[in-house]
Amino acid sequence: MTASAKSKRFSDNEDMANALSHLAGVLLSIAGLSLMVVFSSLRNDVWKIVSSSLFGATLILLYLSSTIAHWLPEGRFKDRFFVIDQAAIFLLIAGTYTPLALVALRGPLGWVVFGLEWGLALTGIVRLLIRSSRFEDGVPLTDIIIYTLMGWLVVLITGPVLKVIPFMGYLWIVIGGLFYTCGLLFFRVFRFRYHHLLWHLMVIGGSVSHFVAVFFYIIL
């Protein structure tokens, strides 16, 4: 089955709802990026500026590619943007960890976390680009496992993280992870009308939660 066939599982109304939901995500991401960069600049901290810029840029890329993919009519360009959308998930997870790694943790552990996240992201994207030539239907379970492992790495470094950010900051990170993980049920398991819209809303919930963690407990 081709990626075009995959996209046909959504009616025109569903695809419109999917596109509009993540268009809202684009606007929120632009606002979030602006806030993070402005306040990072006010603190004259290059690490905060760079890491928040990466986080914000990956947010915009994810929501923009998803919006375009759902907005486009069936065909080759829609297929291509679904591939970009999947690649953007890897980038967003790594981008989300970047402020935690380079600002909050820093030091050897911070660089290890940074290297692991971006290394896994690039590996996942290479696999995706190789596989996309065959237009496999949906997202393979292997990729979902990689997404999940990347996202929940924070659990393995709970102790060090709690030494550098308040508990509430850590809690917002976990809440964001739960939004994304629970959303996978609507993405991968459940199939009913507008199920993908619920996945989109859960993704927005996860992004907002992680923005709160980064902005209020790492940047400010």
Three-state SS sequence of the chain: CCHHHHHCCCCHHHHHHHHHHHHHHHHHHHHHHHHHHHHHHHCCCHHHHHHHHHHHHHHHHHHHHHHHHHHCCCCHHHHHHHHHHHHHHHHHHHHHHHHHHHHHHCHHHHHHHHHHHHHHHHHHHHHHHHHHCCCCCCCCHHHHHHHHHHHHHHHHHHHHHHHHCCHHHHHHHHHHHHHHHHHHHHHHHCCCCCHHHHHHHHHHHHHHHHHHHHHHHHHC
pTM for this predicted structure: 0.93
Q: Is the pLDDT of residue 104 over 70?
A: yes
Half-sphere exposure of 115 (CA within 13 A, CB side): 7
Residue 79's pLDDT band, with cuts at 50, 70 and 90, is confident
Mean pLDDT over the full length of the chain: 92
Higher-confidence residue: 101 or 141?
101
pLDDT at 49 over 70: yes
- Does the pLDDT value for residue 135 go beyond 60? no
Q: Which pLDDT belongs to residue 133?
A: 52
Which domains, from first to last, does the chain contain?
Answer: 3-219 (1.20.1070)
Provide the pLDDT for residue 71: 95
Above 50 in pLDDT, residue 7?
A: no
